[in-house]
Structure 1
């Protein structure tokens, strides 16, 4: 263990209560609303005219998309509650156990994928990018305290840069 690892600054805690989090929250909730509107309107009409394979895939992917967005919205609401002092960190940790931020596989080579409406595929891609950003922030905020000790062979600067890129949505 190096001395450097003991003095690593956690940007995640600061980001979680910053304007960057507010932007992430706004983006996440807007994506939930946009997706719901699409699935209830344009998407419903588009799904009715899809070829059989694409229709089956559309049904499966719309369920995955909805689930993914609801899980992220739950996490964002919990984080907002702790930021606003409405819940303690321990309460959030207890509730957070019910939230799944792990990725649902999307097979872009599945039969019918290219027949799916472009707007629908775009919603899926945006939700996956947002999910990755939320999951990374979650790991950084809620990792165990002893995980702050960075082994000598791990590049802590690179990890912090990756977190910053994610937080500011820079790729």
Structure 2
């Protein structure tokens, strides 16, 4: 068994350096841009595309849209807190206390879910981009503030709606 690695007072935390410097702006812009792009898509092309989905696809689209917007709002909250610390509006301690309300663990149904293949490519791209950004932000958060949250479940979770639909099909003899 190896001994734990100890960080010295001179260890440079790259995530902390990025968040608390001018190099934070591109990350902030990326996150807020993704929020804006997603809102535009869901209110426009996504709404139209969802009308052409099967019942299972439409249900998955609605559920995944909620996960997507929740994930992005949590990321935006984290980014806004870091920007406040970066600009001196809040201390790091205040940010650390406030960020306990932010969850960086919103999972996705992903490819294994029934109906996933029906979802529009643009929508799936937004989901993938949001998951990548969430992963990056989570790693930075862990490095800056320490570990403490449960890891994001990356394997597809059972879809309770799909499970209920399957039970209904079984009960009524349809496949």
1:98 equivalent among 96, 101, 116? 101
Structure 2 equivalent of residue 28 of structure 1: 31
Deviation at 1:113, TM superposition (A): 0.3
Normalised TM-score (structure 2): 0.77
Residue by residue, what CA displacement relative to the aligned partner does 1:7-58 show, whole Å, maximum 9, x if unpaired?
Answer: 5322222111234321110000000000000000110011111111100000
Q: Cα distance 1:4–1:90, how it changes in 2: closer, same or farther (>3 A)?
A: closer
User: Unaligned regions of 5+ residues in structure 1, if any?
Assistant: 145-171
Structure 2 equivalent of residue 43 of structure 1: 46
- Structure number with the higher helix fraction is 1
Q: How many residues align?
A: 144
Residue by residue, what CA displacement relative to the aligned partner does 1:39-86 show, whole Å, maximum 9, x if unpaired?
Answer: 001100111111111000000000000000000000000000000000
Partner Cα distance (1:67, 1:139) in 2: 20
Structure 1 equivalent of residue 123 of structure 2: 120
Structure 2 equivalent of residue 152 of structure 1: none
Q: Cα distance 1:97–1:120, how it changes in 2: closer, same or farther (>3 A)?
A: same
Partner Cα distance (2:91, 2:56) in 1: 47
User: Unaligned regions of 5+ residues in structure 2, if any?
Assistant: 148-175
Runs of 4+ in 1 over 3 A off after TM superposition: 1-5
Deviation at 1:3, TM superposition (A): 8.9
Larger relative contact order (Cα-Cα within 8 Å, sequence gap ≥ 6): 1
SS at match of 1:97: helix
SS at match of 2:23: helix
Structure 2 equivalent of residue 67 of structure 1: 70
Q: Which has the larger radius of gyration?
A: 2
